[in-house]
Amino acid sequence: MKKQVGIIGAGMSGLLACKYMREKGLDPIVFEAKSSIGGVWTKTLHTTKLQTPKPFYQFSDFAWPSSVTQDFPHHHQVLDYIKAYAHHFDLLKHIHFNTHVQSIHFHSQDPAAEAWHLWGGTGEPFSSKAKWTLTVHNTQKDSTQLYTVDFLILCIGRFSDVPNIPEFPPNQGPELFRGKVIHSIDYASMDAQMAAQLVKGKQVTVVGFQKSALDIAMECQAVNGVNYPCTVLYRTEHWNIPDYLPWGLPLTYLYLNRFSELMVHKPGQTLLLSLIATLLAPLRWAFSKFVESHIRWKLGLKKFGMVPNHSFDKEINSCLISTVPEKFYEKVEEGSIVLKKAPRFWFCKEGIVIDGKESWPLKSDLVILATGFSGDKKLRDIFVSPTFQNLIAGSPNATVPLYRECIHPEIPQLAVIGFSESASNLYTSEMRCRWVAAFLDGTFKLPSIEEMKKDVEKWDEYMKRYSGQYYRRSCLAALHIWYNDQLCKDMGWNPRRKKGFLAELFQPYGPWDYSS
């Protein structure tokens, strides 16, 4: 009898997990809370485009259609591409739509779990003595059903569903404000006409300075112009990029090849690689300054007082890079978008008070919080067991404790795909799904629990070293290839994917390198 693998979520990661589990002869069952596939791409801003260059955001065995000619396709084109992938590989028959997994519970007959030396006691992916039980609510039928699976993969992402709402002192939060406060997730759920109607003729304040905040500000100014300028309230300036061609040189040649990774101290590196990284550190600093000079020049950051205090290198190592909407700073210059720095702020009846900046409030009718999501909370709260909740959350000052960014050393028969970020999330998720499938197939075995914990700690040290104050617990951007090398070695693949020494050293790595 086939082993049944439960998969929660039918976004990119969930579809990939479904495909690769089925290829290994397993029986995947996918639970998707929405009525369609696509994850975050099903509910996004009207003007959203892909941020990653198209060649780096594709499935390894399913190319973009020739009709999509843009380097940064519109969000509906991305969704169409994902749907085409699911149809091509006949994945829809494995998906249960409108099924919200309320909780997951691990049932084990082994009383000695605390004394385990190997993952799950045996190091094996499956056990005859233990299974996962899922409590699933069908939102169409308004019914609840229990499912039992041999292995469970969480593909619930970290950029959806649970909004991150800033905390405010008592009586200084949104409840005091006479206007309306929403999160960007609420704005993104509206169609273009409804969103335009919401902001029309209103003093809108957008809180945040990442991609969603900038896109919302551009949509607001398109409706209201200079008559009702949109205010963007930000805490920190960021190196948001105008393009991927600093001074005409593709950014991928600076940060997505093996040569660039030689400049970085790596988890598990040899003494020689450590020495090389130390010697090349000045060159990495120069790369960062090279990119910064292009961004400053092209966007005129100095004129707007928007030059960050931290380096571009810190930004990319924290997975905080986002693209600036076209003509964003032109709109700032014309006055339809106003930028205000606010390390701390709170609400009053009329709007927002900025700490230490102005003696009068920033009058607003509508405040949109583009403040991200609480992916950690979503991941933690799906577990019934308080022990597993604490294990998966880990320490707030350390990385989410996942070996190979997939497996928790102390939570058996479960994998997490799509929580950790990289330079290109789609093909990183694909590599992880292949790795998990190979593990379930018996291609390799996991090391001991203690060895996995030590490996997690080494990756945590790397992340803290290179992201500094912008440490986000789960970003592999600067060591994308090194990370994939570890997965390849586990699966018995040759990690060297290029032809020739120079190509291996200097050509950027992408999905095409792992197509077979």
Pair (315, 202) in one structural domain: yes
In a domain, 485, yes or no: no
Tens of pLDDT, residue by residue over 362-388, are 999 999 999 988 888 889 999 999 999
Query: Rounded to whole angstroms, how far apart are CA atoms 192 and 219?
Result: 9
- CA dist., res. 208 & res. 373, Å (int): 12
Q: Report, in angstroms and rounded to the nearest whole number, the Rg of the chain calculated over CA atoms.
A: 23
pLDDT at 115: 63
pLDDT band of residue 118 (cuts 50, 70, 90) is confident
What digits encode the pLDDT tens for the residues 416-426?
999 888 878 88
- CB-count burial class (<10 Å; 0-12, 13-18, 19+) for 19: buried
Whether 489 is covered by a domain: the verdict is: no
219 in the same domain as 339: yes
pLDDT exceeds 70 at position 473: no
- The verdict on 270 and 317 lying in the same domain is yes
Q: What mean pLDDT is reported for the chain?
A: 93
Tell which of 325, 347, 369 closes a domain: 369
Share of residues in the chain with pLDDT > 90 (%): 79
The answer to whether residues 110 and 74 belong to one domain is yes
In a domain, 497, yes or no: no
Please give the pLDDT value at position 358: 63
252 part of a folded domain: yes
pLDDT in tens, 142-155: 999 999 999 999 99
Same domain (yes/no): 40, 86: yes
512 belongs to a structural domain: no
The 10s digit of each residue's pLDDT in 422-464 is 878 888 999 999 999 999 999 999 999 999 999 999 998 888 8
pLDDT digits (tens, 9 = 90+) for 318-366: 888 889 999 999 999 999 999 999 989 999 999 999 987 666 889 999 9
pLDDT higher than 80, residue 398: no
What count of other Cβ atoms lies within 10 Å of the Cβ of residue 62? 17
Instruction: Please provide residue 409's backbone torsions phi and psi, each rounded to the nearest 5 degrees.
Output: -60, -25
Q: Does residue 467 share a domain with residue 357? A: no
End-to-end CA distance of the chain: 29
User: What does DSSP assign to residue 254?
Assistant: H
Distances (CA, A) of 146 to 102, 139, 307, 334: 10, 14, 53, 58
Residue 207: strand pairing partners: 233, 369
**Interatomic CA distance for residues 80 and 78, integer angstroms:** 5
Residue 193 burial by Cβ neighbours in a 10 Å radius (0-12, 13-18, 19+): exposed
pLDDT at 474: 74
**Among 353, 369, 385, where does a domain finish?**
369
Q: How many residues does the chain have?
A: 516
Residue pair 146/134 in contact (Cβ under 8 Å)? The answer is yes
Helix (H), strand (E) counts: the chain:
16, 16
SS3 (DSSP) at 100: strand
Compute the distance between CA of residue 314 and CA of residue 478 in angstroms, rounded to an integer: 10
Q: Note the pLDDT tens digit of each residue in 182-239.
A: 999 999 999 999 999 999 999 999 999 999 999 999 999 999 999 999 999 999 999 9
Q: Is residue 136 part of a domain?
A: yes
Q: How far apart are CA 137 and CA 4, in angstroms?
A: 19
Number of domains observed in the structure of the chain: 2
- Residue at 515 is within a domain: no
CB contact at 8 A, 205 and 352: yes
Of 369, 389, 422, the residue that ends a domain is 369
CA–CA dist 254, 294 (Å, integer) = 14
The domain that contains 103 carries what CATH number? 3.50.50.60
Is residue 411 domain-shared with residue 352, that is, in the same domain? no
Q: How far is CA 484 from the centre of its chain?
A: 17
Per the DSSP assignment, residues forming a β-bridge with 146 are 135
Segments forming the whole domain that contains residue 94: 4-160+374-475
Confidence of residue 114 (pLDDT cuts 50, 70, 90): low
Confidence of residue 113 (pLDDT cuts 50, 70, 90): low
Inside any domain, residue 279: yes
pLDDT of 472 strictly over 70: no
pLDDT per position as a tens digit, 257-283: 999 999 999 999 999 999 999 999 999
- Identify whether residues 263 and 295 lie together within a single domain: yes
Q: Give the distance, in angstroms, between the CA of residue 249 and the centroid of all CA atoms in the same chain.
A: 26
357 and 283 in one domain? yes
245 plus 355 within the same structural domain = yes
Separation of alpha carbons 104 and 382, rounded Å: 6
Taking 90 as the threshold, does the pLDDT of residue 475 lie above it?
no
In a 3-state reduction of DSSP, which class is residue 202?
A: coil
Percent of the chain with pLDDT strictly greater than 70? 97
- Residues 201, 155 share a domain: no
How far is the C-alpha of 247 from the C-alpha of 293, rounded, in Å? 9
Q: Distance between CA atoms of 133 and 383, rounded to whole angstroms? A: 11
H or E element: which one contains 245? none
Q: Find where tokens 């998966």 sit.
A: 392
Q: Quick one: 317 and 228 in the same domain?
A: yes
Q: Please give the pLDDT value at position 357.
A: 64
CA–CA separation, 86 and 99 (whole Å) = 18
Does residue 53 carry a pLDDT above 80?
yes
Q: What's this model's pTM, rounded to 2 decimal places?
A: 0.94
